[in-house]
Chains A and B, each alone.
Chain A
């Protein structure tokens, strides 16, 4: 027996008919066709099913979809706007912070969550926050570089000299110029 649940997904509020025992991940993938979030472990450890709920990263494989009633959900599909990559996506492309790509949507959503909680995370905070997102291709260094480059780009030039931001030797990527 399905239940109607109202939730806002990628800025669109909708009533979704949900089987009460289905996880949010199942509903996103099977009922809504949002297949960017994927299942890697089914126990909330690998992070590849990460979505944002009210701006905080959640393992959608662990959450019953009915618990999303009234919540605001952002998936990887909702990150780009008007066909433009988000700053995080652009940084992932510039730093080539992916290989097989299976963990990438979850990793990007975790980074989105990190930057919403902390606009200027340091290296230790980045590592700590993203330790719930596993990448077996070993792309962590590029992911860290991508996060740093987003942080570096965010500093308004009027208040801060771009070269002094972040770690010594970090060169800001130049695609925006």
Chain B
């Protein structure tokens, strides 16, 4: 019986419901010290003096300041080497790391922080990305040093060096001006999204120590152990084999745990301390460690009266904060996705990644796409309204189709977007253009509305995932993989793929945690790529083992390999089940006794890349598509929005574990719900004002809509294992504009263009309409 497409129970369940699951902060090593971080109180300043000598004199206290980094290049970064382990000559945001203290206990470390003296010379700060691009703005980074090893897709990014624009990306097709000229109607708007935080409940945590041989060992809550190894090897001038990265269970990340975060700090401090150092940061510090790019999106679209999209120009400005992190790629991906999942002949898309004196923005579920999707899907409904068309109909008229050329030049395959849209419109009860009218509630001041939206997103390409499978003589198998169990269930879904590939019962396959001493390279547990890329590699590695077993049995039975199969761990001739070998018997036949191992290994590389001059080439190994629908109720007296129903449909190619797919998708929906209605990091002159869960609210069960439906469409992808492709981020993009469109429909076309849709913004918009 196939184990693909079944709701296999998650193997991590027993550990997680008993509290036995080990996360990084649960690890205690002999002699381990606990670290605390001293952070900048200024958004931009020259560091005149950093004196940790008084702290260092305390018993058992070890400190790390810039003085300890003399003699090494202290800067790291996967795209731009712009972030130091601790601040060197300047601090670039309020929250920047100045010094770190390790002590026997957390409270001793905390007290020792007070003994460190810092003298600042304030510098003018720039906290808005548009202001940062203006002439005369203080330039935060004068140079762009790229690391020796970076990702090949970064070649398609233009780096700038004389301004706060870190990088730009541009792609076009057709003739944008001719397109606008040929249009019957033009729409030109500016949309904006604030900084938000991932809200992973497990704060960042890392533990490092150095073995006497000079090997660096690090336990860390990361989404990409292989990249951490590369970065630490580069920083500390070590061969990669001398850096060991181990990742236990990770308590959520959603992008916040990609690329170096605390790892360089604990590595440097434990080297000095000569003891293991654990750093678990507070919730306040999490807000200073990774955030989603605030963005401003200027979008101009020309349409014909029949609803055909003719031309679209988008300029998207991504505020990457004080350090580049993965911002250039985020802006690039947002850039080429800004036209949306539509056939538009004339497009001109540009994105900017801009430095400001704010916390570093990085990867966030959706990766640059929710920003542009908010703009193009909100505007799409305005277009439909002005043309008096059904918003679903105008989308259908323009949707990309199987085999279309995307603006990047990619040939699109596995395009199930129309089915997603069908599912969503059905689920929310969409009834054509009449569904754009306010729905009366019979209660004074309360109106309801329906809205829908669609999205397209890419995955990081090119990229590598390697898997190694070991079959034991008893017929049990282990998949060695650097894919991280961060909640999405790879210990179960990858086991399903390996069991299917070899022909083993599912419970006979286990999946390792990442440990770079043993598990092969994987680029990242992000970009919704694990099932597609690691799943592909794991399946091929499993097939290699199956083929070895079939060869053994072929010799035994004197039957051609093609006439054999493995079912439930038994090798047998097809149609003649009397001839069979168990796996121990096969090992005995091969090795002389039921001992030894059989191995399979596969490195799956997706190919592609974009030309830096044209922005074209092959952007993505697969594209994922989704649709969302929402019904909202607006209290027009208070401006408060309640989401009554939220539905999404995602094309997953093939759901290896459908229940987990739906559940993961609900996570995307909930994240989008919070960022649409209320999530927003606020700053006052560069100072964070709500960096705590007391002030920055995440959606709770009380915010949860009455119905919350996650649906799947399966349009098999030719490269994916069993046709599967990624889906983990798919619903983040369209939920916000679906809600925004529902609000606009409830309010007779009143459009809010800035997220979040706070009550006072709703009231403001209603007041302005009243005045007009």
Contact of B670 among A21, A77, A128, A140 (CB under 8 A): A140
Is the pair B199, A136 in contact by a Cβ cutoff of 8 Å? yes
Q: In the complex, which residues 3-40 of chain B have their Cβ closer than 8 Å to any Cβ of chain A?
A: 7, 9-10, 12-23, 25-26
With known contacts A46-B201, A101-B249, A136–B18 Cβ distance under 8 A: no
Contacts of A46 in B (CB 8 A): 201, 693, 698
Contact of B667 among A104, A108, A137 (CB under 8 A): A137
Q: In the complex, which residues 660-693 of chain B have their Cβ closer than 8 Å to any Cβ of chain A?
A: 660, 663-664, 666-671, 692-693
Is the pair A40, B663 in contact by a Cβ cutoff of 8 Å? no
Is the pair A89, B660 in contact by a Cβ cutoff of 8 Å? no
Contact of A139 among B17, B202, B667, B671 (CB under 8 A): B667
Most chain B CB within a 10 A radius of its CB, from A36, A133, A142 = A36
Most chain B CB within a 10 A radius of its CB, from A41, A76, A127 = A41
Contacts of A138 in B (CB 8 A): 663, 666-671
- A91-99, A151-159, A165-173 - the one binding chain B: A91-99
Contacts of B664 in A (CB 8 A): 99, 137
Q: How far is the CA of A37 from the CA of B18 in the complex (A)?
A: 10
Question: Does B700 have its Cβ within 8 Å of any Cβ on chain A?
Answer: yes
A138-150 to B contact mask, C-beta < 8 Å, 1/0 = 1111111000000
Contacts of B199 in A (CB 8 A): 134, 136
Q: How far is the CA of A133 from the CA of B693 in the complex (A)?
A: 12
Is the pair B9, A102 in contact by a Cβ cutoff of 8 Å? no
Is the pair B283, A43 in contact by a Cβ cutoff of 8 Å? yes
Contacts of A6 in B (CB 8 A): none
17 A-B pairs with CB atoms under 8 Å apart are: A29-B26, A38-B251, A43-B283, A76-B18, A80-B18, A93-B13, A93-B14, A98-B16, A99-B252, A100-B251, A101-B251, A102-B200, A132-B700, A136-B199, A136-B200, A141-B666, A142-B663
Q: How far is the CA of A27 from the CA of B286 in the complex (A)?
A: 23
With known contacts A42-B283, A76-B18, A127–B203 Cβ distance under 8 A: no
Contacts of A126 in B (CB 8 A): 701
With known contacts A38-B23, A102-B251, A103-B201, A131–B17 Cβ distance under 8 A: no
Size class of the contact patch on chain B: 35 or more
Is the pair A134, B700 in contact by a Cβ cutoff of 8 Å? yes
Question: Does B308 have its Cβ within 8 Å of any Cβ on chain A?
Answer: no
Question: Does B619 have its Cβ within 8 Å of any Cβ on chain A?
Answer: no
Contacts of B489 in A (CB 8 A): 99
Question: Does B250 have its Cβ within 8 Å of any Cβ on chain A?
Answer: yes
Q: How far is the CA of A75 from the CA of B252 in the complex (A)?
A: 22
Contacts of B12 in A (CB 8 A): 101
Is the pair A136, B17 in contact by a Cβ cutoff of 8 Å? no
Q: How far is the CA of A136 from the CA of B19 in the complex (A)?
A: 18
Contact of A144 among B16, B660, B701 (CB under 8 A): B701
Question: Does A105 have its Cβ within 8 Å of any Cβ on chain B?
Answer: yes
Question: Does A56 have its Cβ within 8 Å of any Cβ on chain B?
Answer: no
Is the pair A128, B702 in contact by a Cβ cutoff of 8 Å? yes
Q: How far is the CA of A165 from the CA of B663 in the complex (A)?
A: 25
With known contacts A99-B487, A136-B698, A42–B671 Cβ distance under 8 A: no
Quote the shortest CB–CB distance from B119 to chain A (angstroms).
Answer: 30
Chain B residues with CB under 8 Å of chain A are: 7, 9-10, 12-23, 25-26, 107, 198-203, 249-252, 254, 280, 282-283, 486-489, 659-660, 663-664, 666-671, 692-694, 698, 700-702, 704, 708
Is the pair A104, B16 in contact by a Cβ cutoff of 8 Å? yes
Q: How far is the CA of A115 from the CA of B701 in the complex (A)?
A: 17
Q: How far is the CA of A104 from the CA of B20 in the complex (A)?
A: 11
Q: How far is the CA of A92 from the CA of B249 in the complex (A)?
A: 18
Quote the shortest CB–CB distance from A128 to chain B (angstroms).
Answer: 7
Measured CB to CB, the nearest residue on chain A to B703 is: A131
Quote the shortest CB–CB distance from A64 to chain B (angstroms).
Answer: 13
Most chain B CB within a 10 A radius of its CB, from A38, A45, A99, A131 = A99
Contacts of A140 in B (CB 8 A): 666, 670, 701, 704, 708
Is the pair B659, A98 in contact by a Cβ cutoff of 8 Å? no
Contact of A134 among B20, B203, B692, B698 (CB under 8 A): B698
Quote the shortest CB–CB distance from B261 to chain A (angstroms).
Answer: 17
Q: How far is the CA of A62 from the CA of B647 in the complex (A)?
A: 37
Contacts of A132 in B (CB 8 A): 700
Contacts of A137 in B (CB 8 A): 252, 487, 663-664, 667
Quote the shortest CB–CB distance from A23 to chain B (angstroms).
Answer: 11
Q: How far is the CA of A29 from the CA of B105 in the complex (A)?
A: 13
Measured CB to CB, the nearest residue on chain B to A132 is: B700
Contacts of B486 in A (CB 8 A): 100
Question: Does A135 have its Cβ within 8 Å of any Cβ on chain B?
Answer: yes
Q: How far is the CA of A93 from the CA of B16 in the complex (A)?
A: 9
With known contacts A40-B201, A43-B283, A100-B249, A77–B19 Cβ distance under 8 A: yes
Quote the shortest CB–CB distance from A105 to chain B (angstroms).
Answer: 4
Q: How far is the CA of A85 from the CA of B15 in the complex (A)?
A: 11
Contacts of A21 in B (CB 8 A): 107
Contact of B694 among A34, A45, A143 (CB under 8 A): A45
Is the pair B19, A100 in contact by a Cβ cutoff of 8 Å? no
Q: How far is the CA of A144 from the CA of B669 in the complex (A)?
A: 17
Question: Does A130 have its Cβ within 8 Å of any Cβ on chain B?
Answer: yes
Contact of B283 among A40, A98, A128, A144 (CB under 8 A): A40
Contact of B252 among A127, A136, A144 (CB under 8 A): A136
Contacts of A75 in B (CB 8 A): 19
Quote the shortest CB–CB distance from A87 to chain B (angstroms).
Answer: 11
Most chain B CB within a 10 A radius of its CB, from A46, A79, A102 = A102
Measured CB to CB, the nearest residue on chain A to B488 is: A99
Contacts of A96 in B (CB 8 A): 7, 9-10, 13, 659-660, 663
Question: Does A66 have its Cβ within 8 Å of any Cβ on chain B?
Answer: no
Measured CB to CB, the nearest residue on chain A to B660 is: A96
Most chain A CB within a 10 A radius of its CB, from B17, B198, B489, B700 = B17
Most chain A CB within a 10 A radius of its CB, from B19, B25, B667 = B19
Is the pair B13, A134 in contact by a Cβ cutoff of 8 Å? no
Is the pair A127, B701 in contact by a Cβ cutoff of 8 Å? yes
Q: How far is the CA of A132 from the CA of B694 in the complex (A)?
A: 12
Contacts of A80 in B (CB 8 A): 18
Quote the shortest CB–CB distance from B769 to chain A (angstroms).
Answer: 34
Q: How far is the CA of A109 from the CA of B105 in the complex (A)?
A: 28
Is the pair B200, A127 in contact by a Cβ cutoff of 8 Å? no
Quote the shortest CB–CB distance from A131 to chain B (angstroms).
Answer: 4
Q: How far is the CA of A139 from the CA of B489 in the complex (A)?
A: 13
Contacts of A77 in B (CB 8 A): 18-19
Quote the shortest CB–CB distance from B68 to chain A (angstroms).
Answer: 28
Quote the shortest CB–CB distance from B628 to chain A (angstroms).
Answer: 14
Is the pair A41, B692 in contact by a Cβ cutoff of 8 Å? yes
Q: How far is the CA of A135 from the CA of B202 in the complex (A)?
A: 11
Measured CB to CB, the nearest residue on chain A to B704 is: A140
Contacts of B14 in A (CB 8 A): 85, 93
Q: In the complex, which residues 49-100 of chain A have their Cβ closer than 8 Å to any Cβ of chain B?
A: 75-77, 79-80, 85, 89, 92-93, 96, 98-100
Quote the shortest CB–CB distance from A88 to chain B (angstroms).
Answer: 8
Q: How far is the CA of A139 from the CA of B14 in the complex (A)?
A: 17
Most chain B CB within a 10 A radius of its CB, from A37, A92, A105, A140 = A140
Measured CB to CB, the nearest residue on chain B to A126 is: B701
Contacts of B693 in A (CB 8 A): 40-41, 43, 45-46, 134
Is the pair B704, A99 in contact by a Cβ cutoff of 8 Å? no
Most chain B CB within a 10 A radius of its CB, from A41, A85, A98, A137 = A137
Contacts of A127 in B (CB 8 A): 701-702, 704
